[in-house]
Amino acid sequence: MESRRERLRAETAAEIKRIALKHIAAAGPASVSLRAIARDMGMTAGAIYSYYDTRDDLITALINDVYTGLVQTLEAARDSKQADDGRGRLLAWALAYRKWAIANPEEFRLLYGDPAPGYRIPEGGAAAEAERRACAGITGLVAAAWPREVSGTYRWSDFEPDFVALVRAQFPDLPPAAIALTLRVWGRMHGLVALEVYGHLRSQIHDGAKIFEAEMLDMADELGL
Amino acid sequence: MESRRERLRAETAAEIKRIALKHIAAAGPASVSLRAIARDMGMTAGAIYSYYDTRDDLITALINDVYTGLVQTLEAARDSKQADDGRGRLLAWALAYRKWAIANPEEFRLLYGDPAPGYRIPEGGAAAEAERRACAGITGLVAAAWPREVSGTYRWSDFEPDFVALVRAQFPDLPPAAIALTLRVWGRMHGLVALEVYGHLRSQIHDGAKIFEAEMLDMADELGL
DNA sequence: TGTACATCAGTGAACGCGCGTTCACTGATGTAC
DNA sequence: TGTACATCAGTGAACGCGCGTTCACTGATGTAC
């Protein structure tokens, strides 16, 4: 029931994002400028305002798209392994995370660095939704390794209520300590990748794949997977 | 043997950095602007060019100072523990890393995020020197846990030659696998801190201290410390 | 101690840039009769 | 099928902004005799 006009409109909105992403990939998140995008599209800068109210709105849309894409990639990698292969699923997720980051460093910076000068991430946006989904994915991977022993004792009140509600709905049997472990696993996956993408391993090592894989293998061992 | 003029000059150069750091702490690394600094100092923007040839030169100087300060903090924390307390020293270093990052989030972003729009880190600068020093510090902590078993087999050629030379001079008995472990330890320390500083744990947890400490305790255990 | 000169930190004005955003408008596309 | 009108995507010019950088200059501070 969508008119020709609506279709064209949606296509233009999508092309704006496509060009913006091209700029990000080429020169980093800071290079997203409405004028530059318009120039590339053969349009006037003002025209973009029919599609996005504000530059920040566009950035938000980009973050949503990129984050959703990343999560889909991770889920697909995980699901390429048998459901009962907890170890394989965890490793597939982790390696896909690094692979995506190395292949899309600027997009990684968009999500996990400073998205753009002066930009503030909106509180309840769709990026937060994608982040929740990623987090739930890791929780599922950790759940496969449960029960087990970890450092520290936790209560549900250690976590944000909204997040607790979400987790408990999806994983009714997991204790708070498992959530703590989920976040730790996430951090452990993230650390080497962030260092590598931001160039901090460059003067030590040419390729971070090997130590990242070793780290993830040992992590899987320690999780008992 | 320094003249009055030289002293004043050095003081002004230092004040420029001090004000720049204040701006970074207040509004992030992207907010460093020569004009804003000059304004705060009651000077003209052009005057800064007697002290720093370029905006990027100033940023480089800031990164050097901040990184050096961080490394000194870490070394001091480590050295507050007995030399034979390998576990205590590792934990002191790690906790000091997070504490510094949480207390100085914008400085952390300056070092580990995008320093400033359009800024490229110079190759052989003093920031690289500070990074080497940090890396050597962790190597020392890992050395205390050696020998032990880890995933993967390594050759010296897996690492950058300059870095290898440095490590072998300082720790002649360590094998390449220990260096790999050093980088992994660094990554593991960095991951949760980076996520927390960039706000990615905000919707899950109010305070990352507890899970970070648990992660570091388990890491020390796994290192056999 | 006093004078003549050199140094050099800081001024102020200018250059040229790209940016986000607004707004009155044009002209093509769609709709209703 | 043809006409009258409504919609609305995109124009182009403007606003005001802050930025890095350059440059001829002034005037105070230091130096040499």
pLDDT (tens digit per residue) in A184-217: 999 999 999 999 999 999 999 999 999 999 999 9
Q: Measure A192 CA to nearest chain B CA, in Å.
A: 4
In single-letter form, the type of residue at position A151 comes to: S
Compare B51 and B1 and report the one with higher pLDDT.
B51
Structure tokens at A13: 């909105």
Cα B29 from Cα A44, distance rounded (Å): 31
Q: What is the pLDDT of residue A52?
A: 97
pLDDT band at B128 (very low <50, low <70, confident <90, very high): confident
Tokens of B207: 């305070």
pLDDT band, very low/low/confident/very high, at A152 (cuts 50, 70, 90)? confident
DSSP bridge pairs for B176? none
Protein CB footprint (7 Å) on chain D nucleotides? 8-14, 18-24, 29-31
Confidence of residue B2 (pLDDT cuts 50, 70, 90): low
Please tell me the distance in Å from B83's CA to the nearest CA on chain A.
25
* Residue contact B152–A213, C-beta within 8 A: yes
User: CA B212 to CA B95: how far, in whole Å?
Assistant: 8
**What is the number of H-type helices and E-type strands within chain B?**
9, 0
Give the E-state strand segments of chain A in sequence order.
Answer: none
Q: Which residue has the tokens 């009140």?
A: A157
The mean of the pLDDT values for chain B is 94
pLDDT above 80: residue B1:
no
Identity of the amino acid at A192: L
- Both tokens of residue B197? 């500083």
Which stretch of A19-28, A61-70, A120-129 has the lowest confidence by average pLDDT? A120-129
Between the CA of B3 and the C1' of D33, what is the distance in angstroms? 21
Asked if strand C comes closer than 7 Å to B46 Cβ, the answer is yes
**Looking at chain B, which residue has its C-alpha nearest residue A30?**
B117
d(CA A157, CA A139): 18
The answer to whether B86 and B48 have CB atoms below 8 angstroms apart is no
**Contact flag A210-B112 (C-beta cutoff 8 Å):** no
CA–chain centroid gap for B113, Å, is 11
- Collapsing DSSP to helix, strand or coil, A205 comes out as strand
DSSP code for A46: G
Q: Which residue of A has its CA nearest to B152?
A: A214
> In the beta sheet, which residues pair with residue B159?
A205
Q: How far apart are CA B40 and CA B113, in angstroms?
A: 26
Q: Flag whether pLDDT at A65 surpasses 70.
A: yes
Question: What predicted TM-score, i.e. pTM, was given to this entire model?
Answer: 0.95
Two tokens, residue B116: 């400033």
Interatomic distance B47 CA / D24 C1' (Å)? 14
Q: What is the pLDDT of residue B114?
A: 85
Spell out which residues of chain A touch residue B222, defining contact as CB-CB under 8 Å: 218, 222
Q: Cis omega before residue B105 (within 30°)?
A: no
